[in-house]
Every structure is written in C-alpha cells, then in structure tokens.
Structure 1
C-alpha cells in the first residue's frame, strides 16, 4: 500500500506545480486553492508512504514522479519544447526512478 501512497503523492506534486502555474503567481484564486489542495494531498500521502519506504527511496521517487509529470504536462498542455535533449534527460530520470524501486527490496 505504501507504493500506492507514494504514487498518489507524486501525482499530487504534479497537480501542485500545475495549479501553481495556473495561479499566475497566486493572483488567481482557483489556481491558488488547487495548488494548496494538491500540496496537501502530496505531503499527506508522502508522509503515509514514509512509514514503510526508506526516505532516500521515497523522496527520490517522489521528486522523480513530480519532475517527469511536470515535464510531460509542460510539453503537452503548456506548449513547452520537445527538444531531444530534454527527452534524453527525462529518460534518465525515469531510469533513476525505476532503479530506486528495484533496489528498494520488498518495502
């Protein structure tokens, strides 16, 4: 169950940064409320995941999910560049996240 919590937490992180972008520097209330709510979800589920998963693994994967999701949303929703170098480094983050999960054992 801890891994499900960690995935939810990572998705909350993606939601948080997306709503931050939509809040326009916290000037738009809907984006601001969304950022706060998503941030709460993210940290709540991260705290639940940390009860079973080592912090070094959980934090690395949490930030990886946030980074990967933010880059993908930036490219698909906000029209950011799809440069091959960006894709290369994104694949390195994905590889790192998979590696952390593999070496984490049975947690």
Structure 2
C-alpha cells in the first residue's frame, strides 16, 4: 500500500476542520491512560498473546507540544504520539462508540 503525503495532508486537514466546527479552541479528552500494543506485535496476527503497555495522552501531548515551543527535531516516535491522540479523539467523537 502506498499513501500520497499531499493527499494525506488534505484528508487530515478536512478531518480537523470538521472537528473544529464542533469545538471552540480545544478538544477535551476524558481519558488520559490507554493500552498500547507495541509495534512489533501490532501487525503480527499469529501471536497468541500480546503484551500491551500503558501510555499517557498528557505525556504524548506534552512531547508533541515541544515541537512548537523548541527546536526539538521531529522523530518517528512523534507519529506514535500523534496516532494515540487521534485514536482517542476518534473514540470521543464517534457516536457509535458510546
């Protein structure tokens, strides 16, 4: 599978625009802690057991915010952090999850 980055950016902005139409200036997430499946186990469907780890949305956001406030370089771990926030936003805003 191949994803065009420019198209992904457009899709992402449309989704954020939709959320912006529902919220004022911020997004409130009820949960902080979540289960995360390590990357090496995420797509291995042959595993009998998985070993989830605990993550924190507030920690994820704190680290991502540093990208705006400092010259900290972007890392690929930031994709994981962003993915965790997006996943929880999906849970919050999806009416079928209630």
**TM value normalised by structure 1:** 0.32
Identify which of structures 1 and 2 has the higher relative contact order when contacts are C-alpha pairs closer than 8 Å and 6+ apart.
1
More strand by share: 2
Structure number, greater radius of gyration: 2
TM-score by length of 2: 0.34
